[in-house]
Chain A
Amino acid sequence: MALLDVQNLGISFGGLRAVDDFHLQVKKGQLYGLIGPNGAGKTTVFNLLTGVYKPSEGIIRLDGEDITGRSNIEINKAGIARTFQNIRLFKDQTVLDNVKIGLHNRFHYNTFEGIFRLPRYRKIEKKMEEKAMELLEVFELEKEKDYLASNLPYGKQRKLEIARALATDPKLLLLDEPAAGMNPNETHELMETIRFIREKFDMTILLIEHDMKLVSGICEELTVLNFGSILCQGETEKVLQNPEVIKAYLGE
């Protein structure tokens, strides 16, 4: 059974049919790519999957559980975490605190214990700190832990966003153009990191990407979107050789 099972998903904005009859099966542990030209509706699919938008029709199942129409908070609790195409970090907080905020729902003490620094506050904060540092180390951000997130260079901001998403302990990780704005070196490094995450956290990853080298390098399967509809779906190599895809993608 697929970890993520999407059937007949659709949404309209006014007269614009942004996503139409979208379906997708992502198996556990898979690295899956969602590609397509600008404005094809890829980010909209992510927004539908994470509950930012409510679909007009369709069903989304995560691990067999129907999560259609739930709020983005509930969907995060159900096990989907994401990053954003235009990075959304907590800019005025430290790198470490950004990850700790990702850990928010996994560690609990109440407001009173927090304000008066009771033993449980100390104990839980210590655990959060350790967990957060563990994640920062995966992304080699431990040296910058006290920096404000907005002071990080671009590539590291993207990594921090992934670390924060992973902190929520998701079953499925959605990455929206993680390599956007990176140079080839950084992109290559990011590819390694994504592979590493999958191994280390046994993670299932669905990613949107424009960089064909990255996509063909790490994705096992692809779905190509064009004008809100699926153009082609299947194994990466086959999809990339499909003449229609080449035409739509390279704009010939």
Chain B
Amino acid sequence: MKKLRLSRQGRSDLITYGIILLLCLILFLIGQSSYQLQGLLVPVCAQIMLAVSLNLTVGILGELSLGHAGFMCIGTFMGASFSIYMEQFIPIPALRFFLALLIGALSAGIMGFLIGLPVLRLKGDYLAIVTLAFGEIIKNLINMVYLGYDSSGLHFSMNDTASLGLAEDGVVIIKGPQGVTGTPTDSNFGIGILLVLLTVFIVLNLVHSRDGRAIMAIRDNEIAAESVGIHITKYKLMAFTISAALAGLAGSFYAHNYNNIKASTNNFGYNMSIMILVFVVLGGIGSIRGSVIAATILYMLPEVLRFMSQYRMLVYAIVLIVMMLFTWSPKAQAWKAVQLAKCRKRLRPLTDRFRKKSSGHMTGEGE
């Protein structure tokens, strides 16, 4: 009996990973068709990561965040600056890129922790208000930052390039509203797929662990969670910090796709945060698989539909409505449950064989 459940969960996760790989294959084929579409492959991976990570806050923790793009923004500028500055010290691109991704995730995670610490103690929708403000503040702050380096090290200013006081050989990394320039373009679709898988892996495994259960217990009923000894603030902070860190990871990955990035409203502002939230809501709050699918379709669609010229937004609107119905109408949910059960059933022999093998291995019984 016990094994059945574990494998049931495992099968559901397996289906999710399968869907991701299938989507990636489709994306790859779409990318072959035109240069424009090819250019969307890296950003779409970042969007999927953002949607999945926001779902951790909105769907799993049950708190509304309206500033997810702000965390992405931090990851982008920290990651890009790190790479530009470190190009002279770390000659191996792969290692430098790996560290840049880590820095992006870490800095956004720390920011998430600092914001969550005072706000998540409060009961009510304060997180939505504070994250909304945070997203805008970060974007505007970065538009004021000037950062450069020369032989004597890093220079920082909030005024203009001149006040950086760089030596002759100096290089400007961040130039206020003109953004960050000179990022090595290390990102590609393959790494994007790996990072999407990593993000989904982290979120799904967290959900199925002791911590994840505590987080969902808080979402379902705070008073009951406290009555069984669960620290509300601790787990809220944990979920929110991980969610922010994953957004930072996405941001840093995104940064390394462009030589130049500006912190504009569409990139990192309120619009972007809402867009990510739309992915989460239309994909199904709490459904990781749904976030992946919704982010992919809704991000690619405007570009894929470009040939329809003026009918493009009309079709886009219709797709939004259809997706909403598909996600939230009871009939569609029932249909999906049946399909999922079928899918699981078909997978059962496969997972059974796998489990037999691995358990045999563990106990040393073999076959």
What's the interface size class on A, roughly?
A: 35 or more
Q: Is A89 a contact partner of B223 (Cβ separation < 8 A)?
A: no
- Which of B5, B210, B213, B226 gathers the greatest number of chain A CB atoms within 10 Å? B210
- In chain B between 205 and 230, which residues have their CB closer than 8 angstroms to a CB of chain A? 205-206, 209-214, 216-217, 219-221, 223-230
Known contacts A82-B227, A146-B8; is-contact A104 B214 (Cβ 8 Å): yes
Bound CA–CA A106/B286 (angstroms):
27
Q: Chain B residue with minimal CB distance to A71?
A: B226
Q: Chain B residue with minimal CB distance to A106?
A: B229
Bound CA–CA A111/B223 (angstroms):
23
Q: Is B231 an interface residue (CB 8 A)?
A: yes
Q: Is A81 an interface residue (CB 8 A)?
A: yes
Bound CA–CA A84/B225 (angstroms):
12
Bound CA–CA A24/B250 (angstroms):
58
Q: Chain B residue with minimal CB distance to A47?
A: B223
Q: Which residues of A contact B210 (CB under 8 A)?
A: 100, 104, 107-109, 114, 124-125, 128
Q: Is A117 an interface residue (CB 8 A)?
A: yes
Q: Is B226 a contact partner of A72 (Cβ separation < 8 A)?
A: yes
Interface of B is mostly: helix
Contact segment of A4-12, A160-168, A241-249: A160-168
Q: Is A121 an interface residue (CB 8 A)?
A: yes
Q: Is A90 a contact partner of B221 (Cβ separation < 8 A)?
A: yes
Contact segment of A31-39, A56-64, A91-99, A225-233: A91-99
Bound CA–CA A165/B212 (angstroms):
19
A115 to chain B minimum Cβ distance, whole angstroms, is 5
Q: Is A76 an interface residue (CB 8 A)?
A: yes
Q: Which residue in B202, B212, B227 is a CB contact (below 8 Å) of A76?
A: B227
Q: Is B2 an interface residue (CB 8 A)?
A: yes
Known contacts A101-B230, A105-B229; is-contact A88 B224 (Cβ 8 Å): yes
Q: Which residue in B1, B221, B229 is a CB contact (below 8 Å) of A104?
A: B229
Q: Which residues of B contact A121 (CB under 8 A)?
A: 209
Q: Is B238 an interface residue (CB 8 A)?
A: yes
Residue interface mask A114-132, B partner, CB < 8 A = 1: 1111000100110011100
Q: Is B220 a contact partner of A90 (Cβ separation < 8 A)?
A: yes
Known contacts A115-B206, A133-B2; is-contact A93 B227 (Cβ 8 Å): no
Q: Which residues of B contact A133 (CB under 8 A)?
A: 1-2
- In chain B between 1 and 18, which residues have their CB closer than 8 angstroms to a CB of chain A? 1-2, 5, 8
Bound CA–CA A105/B227 (angstroms):
12
Q: Chain B residue with minimal CB distance to A110?
A: B211
Q: Is A104 a contact partner of B5 (Cβ separation < 8 A)?
A: no
Q: Is A138 an interface residue (CB 8 A)?
A: no
Bound CA–CA A142/B225 (angstroms):
22
Known contacts A73-B230, A81-B227; is-contact A90 B217 (Cβ 8 Å): yes
Ranked 4 nearest A-B pairs via Cβ: A114-B209, A88-B224, A90-B220, A76-B229
Residues on A lying within 8 angstroms of B by beta carbon are: 50, 52, 71-73, 76-77, 81-82, 84, 88-93, 96-97, 100-102, 104-105, 107-109, 111, 114-117, 121, 124-125, 128-130, 133, 142, 145-146, 164-165, 167-168
Residues on B lying within 8 angstroms of A by beta carbon are: 1-2, 5, 8, 201-202, 205-206, 209-214, 216-217, 219-221, 223-231, 238, 286
Known: A76-B227, A133-B2, A168-B228. 16 other contacts (CB 8 A): A72-B227, A73-B231, A76-B229, A77-B229, A88-B221, A89-B224, A104-B229, A105-B228, A105-B230, A109-B210, A115-B202, A115-B206, A124-B210, A125-B210, A165-B227, A165-B228
Q: Please name 11 pairs of A and B residues whose Cβ atoms are closer than 8 Å in the assembled complex, sorted by A.
A: A76-B228, A81-B227, A104-B213, A104-B228, A105-B230, A114-B205, A115-B202, A115-B206, A128-B210, A142-B1, A164-B228
